[in-house]
Amino acid sequence: MQPAAEARQRIARLSAHLNPTNSQMEVNTMLERVDCRAKGGSPGFKVAILGAAGGIGQPLAMLMKMNPLVSVLHLYDVVNCPGVTADISHMDTGAVVRGFLGQQELEAALTGMELIIIPAGVPRKPGMTRDDLFNINAGIVKTLCEGIAKCCPNAIVNLISNPVNSTVPIAAEVFKRAGTYDPKKLLGVTMLDVVRANTFVAEVLGLDPREVDVPVVGGHAGATILPLLSQVKPPCSFTPDETEYLTKRIQDGGTEVVQAKAGAGSATLSMAYAAVKYADACLRGLRGDAGVVECAFVASQVTELPFFATKVRLGRTGAEEVYQLGPLNEYERVGLEKAKKELATSIQKGISFIKK
Ligand SMILES: NC(=O)c1ccc[n+]([C@@H]2O[C@H](COP(=O)([O-])OP(=O)(O)OC[C@H]3O[C@@H](n4cnc5c(N)ncnc54)[C@H](O)[C@@H]3O)[C@@H](O)[C@H]2O)c1
Ligand SMILES: O=C(O)C[C@H](O)C(=O)O
């Protein structure tokens, strides 16, 4: 018997006898991985990037092609995707890359995928807020999520397109309408706020940023970005001036890049880095690794708002545990009230866009 056929039989036997709680879907996923290995691809997960030819999409595609947890990488965009795909596909890493161009190929891009990363949409120019992107990006996210609901309803979705505070509620409403909504699987990516917070705090403390862990909660726009400097690891303290400087710099990190790029877009390279850091955490969770915890904007009961960013534990089914805020100091309590006010409006705007 061929090794692949043997492995298929072994998985089918083992999952039936050893772990009867495995769903048929989980067994199928394991079998697909064996098939992929038999065809020369690496074992791992199937990942699609929607908006793969853009400023974030291209470096994100490159970094995901380098990720050993990825076996199949689908790149989808409405322009320039064949070139990006040809380029990335020459990298001698394990993942098999396929490109998909235009709405007519969206379903093929999505079918069978386990993780979908969405950086599709327009970026800011100087003078704009993230909310100014709503009119264009809301429709893009709606269309892509309708495709996900139809073709890969069980996939984990990492949503990057701005304004995240509204696009996540839009995606949730699309999935609810389609009857496929699983709150654990819809994750708004706020990792760049954490990456920036770690960097800026490390600068002030004179530490290596890799040793620093700053929880950033709330949402992903201006005052809704709330770094919890009282909970920084390793434990440390800041003067009121340092707290004010760091909080403002973290909240305005996106604008700092938009202004420096002077009309040529917003953060792309640091965002691709943050997106891969986050996607890798999701894949480790899917693989069953224990203790994978990162911040994300998710369906939440931590506050009275339906969505909120906090630390979440990522597991086989997505965001399996949403952590509470922990003790806040007075500065953070004031920041939280301000964040919640702005967030409530942005969340409602997203929900109304679908319900109108
Ligand atoms: N969450 C975050 O922390 C964060 C950080 C940076 C940027 N962003 C957001 O990410 C988005 C993308 O930024 P960028 O710099 O890559 O922009 P970009 O314009 O360089 O790239 C966007 C890509 O999306 C594609 N696209 C447009 N409509 C599409 C559709 N219907 N289907 C598939 N692809 C489509 C475009 O063709 C383009 O290639 C923006 O909304 C930006 O604000 C979010
Ligand atoms: O600032 C932006 O518009 C892009 C992104 O949200 C960021 O934080 O860099």
pLDDT digit string, tens, across residues 209-244: 999 999 999 999 999 999 999 999 999 999 999 999
Ligand nearest to C-alpha 104: 1
Element (H, E) at 68: none
Contacts of residues 1-6 at CB distance under 8 Å and 24 or more positions apart, as own/partner, are: 2/38, 3/38, 4/34, 4/35, 4/37, 4/38
Q: Is 128 in the pocket of ligand 1 (CB under 6 A)?
A: no
Which residue spans within 113-269 are E strands per DSSP?
Answer: 115-118, 156-159, 186-188, 216-218, 225-227
Q: Is the pLDDT assigned to residue 34 strictly greater than 70?
A: no
Q: Is the pLDDT assigned to residue 247 strictly greater than 80?
A: yes
Q: Where in the chain is the domain with CATH 3.90.110.10?
A: 190-355
ipTM of this predicted structure: 0.99
Output the pTM of the full model: 0.91
Read off the pLDDT band of 12 (50, 70, 90).
low
Read off the pLDDT band of 20 (50, 70, 90).
very low
For residues 35-44, give the mean pLDDT: 58
Read off the pLDDT band of 18 (50, 70, 90).
very low
Contacts of residues 55-58 at CB distance under 8 Å and 24 or more positions apart, as own/partner, are: 55/123, 55/265, 55/266, 55/268, 56/119, 56/160, 56/268, 56/271, 56/272, 56/275, 57/84, 57/119, 57/120, 58/84, 58/272
> Higher pLDDT residue, 26 or 73?
73
Predicted local confidence at residue 356, as pLDDT: 82
Q: Whose CA is nearest to atom 5 of ligand 2?
A: 254
At 161, list the tokens.
């397109």
**Known catalytic membership, residue 74:** no
Binding residues for substrate: 124, 130, 162, 196
Q: Taking CA 153 as the corner, what is the angle to CA 148 and CA 155, rounded to the nearest 5 degrees?
A: 85
**What's the CATH architecture for 190-355?**
Alpha-Beta Complex (3.90)
Among 28-37, 112-121, 197-206, 246-255, the minimum mean pLDDT is found in: 28-37
Element (H, E) at 40: none
Please check whether residue 138 is in contact with residue 353, taking contact to mean a CB–CB distance below 8 angstroms.
Answer: yes
Note the pLDDT tens digit of each residue in 287-323. Answer: 999 999 999 999 999 999 999 999 999 999 999 999 9
Alpha-carbon distance of 250 to 130, in angstroms, equals: 15
Distance 31 CA to ligand 2 centre (A): 39
Phi, psi of 227 (to 5 degrees): -75, 135
Binding residues: 51-57, 77, 124, 130, 137, 160-162, 196, 271
Note the pLDDT tens digit of each residue in 164-190. Answer: 999 999 999 999 999 999 999 999 999
Ligand nearest to C-alpha 162: 1
Beta-carbon contacts of residue 187 (< 8 Å; ≥ 6 apart)? 156, 157, 158, 159, 278, 282, 296, 297, 298, 312, 318, 319
Q: Where in the chain is the domain with CATH 3.40.50.720?
A: 42-189
Residue with tokens 């969340």: 347
193 beta partners: none
Homologous superfamily assigned to 42-189: NAD(P)-binding Rossmann-like Domain (3.40.50.720)
Note the pLDDT tens digit of each residue in 122-174. Answer: 999 999 999 999 999 999 999 999 999 999 999 999 999 999 999 999 999 99
Cα distance from N-terminal residue to C-terminal residue, the chain: 58
Q: Whose CA is nearest to atom 8 of ligand 2?
A: 254
Read off the pLDDT band of 343 (50, 70, 90).
very high
What is the number of other CB atoms lying within 10 angstroms of the CB of residue 240? 8
Q: Is 274 in the pocket of ligand 2 (CB under 6 A)?
A: no
Element (H, E) at 300: none
Alpha-carbon distance of 175 to 182, in angstroms, equals: 8
